[in-house]
Each structure stands twice: as C-alpha cells, then as structure tokens.
C-alpha cells in the first residue's frame, strides 16, 4: 500500500475534493464504487466529509450551498510549501485567483486558482492534514490529467508556477507528461486539443480530471451505471492499464483505472 504521511514537494497532487448538490446521493454512489467510508467533520467545518480507505482520508466531499452556481467537478490540489507565494506566482503567470489563500482551521492553508485557459485547481499547504494518505491504490487517485485546447500555453503556465519538467509523448497524440524537477517523478499530464463537457448541458471547459485506481475496471463500470452514473468510453486497454471515462450522477467526469503492473 502506498501511504503518504507528510507534506509532498511543491506541485505534487496531494488532495481532491468535490462539492455536490446532494451529499447523501454522492456518498451512496462513491461509497459503492470505491468502498469509501465517510467521516463528517461536523458543523464547524460545514459538514465536510473525509472519504476514507481503511480509515485513511483520500479525498473530500461537501454539500454545495444553495446559492452555489451549477458548477461542480473534482478539484485536484497541488502541494505548496508556501501557499501565498505559489498563488502569487500563478497570478503573475496569467492565472486568476478564485479563492485567495486562507487558513482552514489548523489542518492547512489553501487557495483556489484558475489557469489562463480557465482550468481550476487548488493549492494545499498541509499542517495537521498533509493530504491524501493513500495514493496509487484502489479507491485513491493514481493520475491527474489536464484536458485543455492549448497544451503549449498550459505547459508554460504550470512550468512557471511549479517548475515542472515537460516531456512530450511520442506519437500522434497531443500529450505532455509533467515531472517534478527535484527527482523526475511523473505527477500528471496535459492532453491538448480537447475540452471536457461537464454534463447536464454545461458547456465544454478546460478541466483537470482524475483517474481513480480500482481492482477491476469492468466491474467498476458496471457499478457506475447501476448507481446512476454514465460511461463516456471504455473500458479499454493501454500500456498503462485498463480504464474507462465515466461520470457520476451529477455529470462530473472522472476515470476508473486498473493500473498495469509497475504503473502508478
């Protein structure tokens, strides 16, 4: 099991959360799909739910307020040793600050940012809560991918903010792998020339999307459809594993993936 017990280097995906219009329905859907158990943080935290695998938090779930816009998706957060400094760097590189840096009680400091093309992501400076305690295992994230019309502009932005090394993949696909400069570890990718339609009639936008590891991609697809979600494509095999593009009952896109041996 790949466990994470402390803060990760800058730019490493370290948390995920989602705001939904019906938290009970979301708990039922994701609990059945990933085997998650949920811990409600209480009224002082807005009933934010920690999604757990084996008692370890891997993601967050919250009820959108009644006046929230009809926009919801999985938000990926990137580790930040200095949340304020990285938020400023993002703004200087052409991004926009959706939520300025703020303390979340004693658990950490966060900000929400959009890149110049409109893809939203978070910054998380862990304190009591460093982020996802399990990764690359069933029920946790194994990969995060930016779907955007302009991979070159996106790569320039994220390199300026996080210092990533950019590795274009060989072949016809417009795909760039992001690596941490400190150790060359692969931490995500950019799929260019495309945008995601968020579902429920909402327009296509540049979006970060998450691959969740599962034991069996085909069984996960069956569970998605039986629980009110939809399948956009797959399951299909690749050198990296067997995966499918799916949506939850609210139209939020994500992937389920059985990683190939040695991947993750």
Q: CA 116 to CA 154: how far, in whole Å? A: 8
Query: To the nearest 5 percent, what fractions of the chain are helix, strand and coil?
Result: 20, 45, 40
Tell me how far apart the terminal alpha carbons of the chain are, to the nearest angstrom: 11
Q: CA 35 to CA 159: how far, in whole Å? A: 36
For 219-234, what is the mean pLDDT?
96
For position 225, what pLDDT does the model report? 97
Sequential DSSP letters for 226-247: HTT-EEEEEEEEETTEEEEEEE
Rg value, the chain, Cα: 17
- What are the pLDDT digits (tens) for 26-38? 999 999 999 999 9
Q: CA 178 to CA 146: how far, in whole Å? A: 10
For 80-92, what is the mean pLDDT?
98
For 165-173, what is the mean pLDDT?
91
What order do you get walking across the sheet with 96-104 strand by strand?
A: 37-40, 49-53, 56-63, 13-20, 75-79, 120-126, 108-114, 96-104
Sort strands 253-259 and 49-53 into parallel, antiparallel or unpaired. Answer: unpaired
- What are the pLDDT digits (tens) for 177-192? 999 998 999 999 999 9
How many CA atoms lie within 13 Å of 37's alpha carbon, on the beta-carbon side?
5
- Name the pTM for this structure: 0.94
Lowest mean pLDDT among 2-11, 48-57, 84-93: 2-11
Q: Does residue 70 carry a pLDDT above 60?
A: no
Q: CA 193 to CA 1: how far, in whole Å? A: 35
- What are the pLDDT digits (tens) for 120-164? 999 999 999 999 999 999 999 999 999 999 999 999 999 999 999
What the block records as the tokens of 242 is 């067997």
Q: CA 11 to CA 77: how far, in whole Å? A: 9
CB atoms within 10 A of CB 225: 11
Structural domains present in the chain = 1-264 (3.10.180.10)
Sort strands 253-259 and 207-213 into parallel, antiparallel or unpaired. Answer: parallel
What the block records as the tokens of 249 is 């009952």
What the block records as the tokens of 148 is 């955007």
């Amino acid at each position: 099991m790949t466990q994470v017990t402390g803060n990760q280097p800058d730019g490493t995906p370290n948390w995920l959360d989602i705001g939904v219009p019906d938290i009970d329905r979301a708990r039922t859907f994701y609990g059945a799909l990933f085997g998650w158990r949920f811990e409600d943080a209480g009224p002082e935290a807005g009933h934010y739910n920690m999604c757990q695998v084996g008692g370890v938090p891997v993601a967050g779930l919250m009820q959108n307020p009644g006046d929230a816009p009809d926009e919801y998706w999985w938000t990926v957060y990137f580790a930040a040793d200095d949340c304020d400094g990285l938020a400023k760097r993002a703004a200087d590189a052409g991004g926009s600050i959706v939520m300025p840096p703020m303390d979340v009680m004693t658990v950490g400091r966060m900000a929400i940012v959009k890149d110049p093309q409109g893809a939203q992501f978070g910054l998380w400076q862990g304190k009591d809560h460093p982020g996802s305690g399990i990764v690359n295992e069933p029920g946790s994230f194994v990969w995060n991918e930016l779907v955007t019309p302009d991979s070159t502009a996106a790569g320039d932005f994220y390199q300026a903010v996080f210092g990533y090394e950019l590795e274009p993949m060989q072949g016809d696909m417009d795909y760039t792998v992001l690596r941490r400069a400190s150790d060359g570890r692969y931490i995500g990718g950019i799929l260019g020339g495309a945008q995601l339609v968020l579902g429920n009639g909402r327009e296509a936008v540049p979006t970060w999307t998450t691959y969740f590891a599962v034991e069996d991609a085909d069984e996960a697809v069956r569970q998605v459809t039986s629980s009110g979600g939809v399948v956009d494509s797959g399951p299909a095999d690749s050198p990296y594993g067997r995966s499918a593009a799916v949506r939850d009952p609210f139209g939020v896109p994500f992937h389920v993936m059985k990683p190939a041996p040695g991947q993750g």
